[in-house]
Amino acid sequence: MTQSLTIARPDDWHLHLRDGAMLAAVLPETARDFGRAIIMPNLVPPVVTGAQAAAYRDRILAALPEGADFAPLMTLYLTEDTDPEDVAAAHASGLVKAVKLYPAGATTNSASGVSNFENVRPVLEKMAEIGLPLCTHGEVTDHDIDIFDREAVFIDRVLDPIRRSTPGLRVVMEHITTANAADYVKSQDRDLGATITTHHLIINRNHILVGGIKPHYYCLPVAKREEHRIALRKAATSGDKRFFLGTDSAPHLDGDKLAACGCAGCFTATNTMPLLAHLFEEDGALDKLEGFASLNGPAFYGLPVNDAKLTLVKSDTATQFPEKIDTENGPVTVFDPGYPIHWSVAR
């Protein structure tokens, strides 16, 4: 039996494309299925200014395959030296769609992030004034806070105070991993949304640690207990417009993942849409997939829904996804849910 589902072409509201050889290898994986993506600015060095974002956008456009139907939506990396006027100009020109907050030291390439939130107050106030969203990596970095508690503590100690003291600031809680974050979003009536990754709908912390450590399941924020995964599944499949897809597809070379100090990130660009079709069907919510992947994000960002469509088909035989994609510097492993998937994207 073949089943099919056609939805508006989806967008990815949180994506790492990197640069150079990695960009060339991973960009086609996203451009195949997605119309647009919010491009994370955590390069080395980071994308801080409007001029750097324009140059990075040009490198992405130059790396796009012939005939691709894909537009990168650029972001700026917030530092304590960020100039509010540069941010405003990059927004006014249409170049930049969000500013990204990394607490210093919270994740991959976050060393230039924010330590003292008072120092970014003028930028946040400017963003509230012009309606430019702040995307947050929501984890505190205090050494005395357990890594599994860092998201919940961030909401209480950092996010809620920032939102209270900056009325009108629009915030996207990126890659949420806890019931605490989902509940916080639901408890607020305006200016707040959240992205959810594909992998956090699939794995809990046991998948990383039971029966041997699984470096390809290690990402930040780290997957939490099963009850949190279930809360994320409920939020994603609920139809609540405040929740939308941000894959956080974060490629690292296998050599950097399979190491004594392995990098954080799951690479899901290749198979995200078939995985989501599987998950939403499992939860009896296939009719909510289009909202999550294609409608709620544009609504939050004030952008039109893509005109193009994407069709997913389900067949009796399991879909064969590539195990790895090759880059000039070595392979990148594609996220493996650990069970067969029968959905694929119709080409």
Ligand X SMILES: NC(=O)N[C@@H](CC(=O)O)C(=O)O
Name the residues that contact ligand X, by CB under 6 A: 16, 42, 107-108, 137, 219-220, 248, 250, 264-265
- Other CB atoms within 10 A of residue 161 CB: 12
- Closest contact distance (angstroms) between CB of 120 and ligand X is 18
- Closest contact distance (angstroms) between CB of 211 and Zn ion is 27
Between β-strands 12-15 and 36-39, what pairing exists: parallel, antiparallel or unpaired? parallel
Report whether 189 contacts 228 (CB < 8 A): no
Going through the chain in order, the beta strands assigned E by DSSP cover: 3-8, 12-15, 36-39, 71-77, 96-101, 134-136, 171-173, 192-196, 243-245, 309-314, 324-327, 330-333, 343-345
Q: Identify whether 86 is a catalytic site residue.
A: no
Is 100 known as a binding-site position?
A: yes
- Closest contact distance (angstroms) between CB of 238 and ligand X is 24
SS3 content of the chain, % helix, strand, coil (to 5): 40, 20, 45
- Rounded to an integer, what distance in angstroms lies between the CA atom of residue 319 and that of residue 134? 37
Q: Which of 248, 287, 316, 336 is catalytic?
A: 248
Among Zn ion, ligand X, none, what does residue 136 contact (CB within 5–8 Å per kind)?
A: none
Among 24, 248, 333, 344, binds Zn ion (CB under 5 A): 248
Report whether 285 contacts 291 (CB < 8 A): no
Among ligand X, Zn ion, none, what does residue 264 contact (CB within 5–8 Å per kind)?
A: ligand X
User: Is there binding between residue 240 and Zn ion (CB under 5 A)?
Assistant: no
Stretch that binds Zn ion, among 102-110, 158-166, 182-190, 324-332 (CB under 5 A): 102-110
| φ, ψ (nearest 5 deg) of residue 86 | -65, -40
Name the residue among 130, 147, 41 with its Cα closest to residue 89: 130
User: Is there binding between residue 107 and Zn ion (CB under 5 A)?
Assistant: yes
Residues that bind Zn ion (CB under 5 A): 107, 137, 248
Binding-site positions for Zn(2+) read: 14, 16, 100, 137, 175, 248
Binding-site positions read: 14, 16-18, 42, 100, 137, 175, 220, 248, 252, 264
Catalytic residue ranges: 248
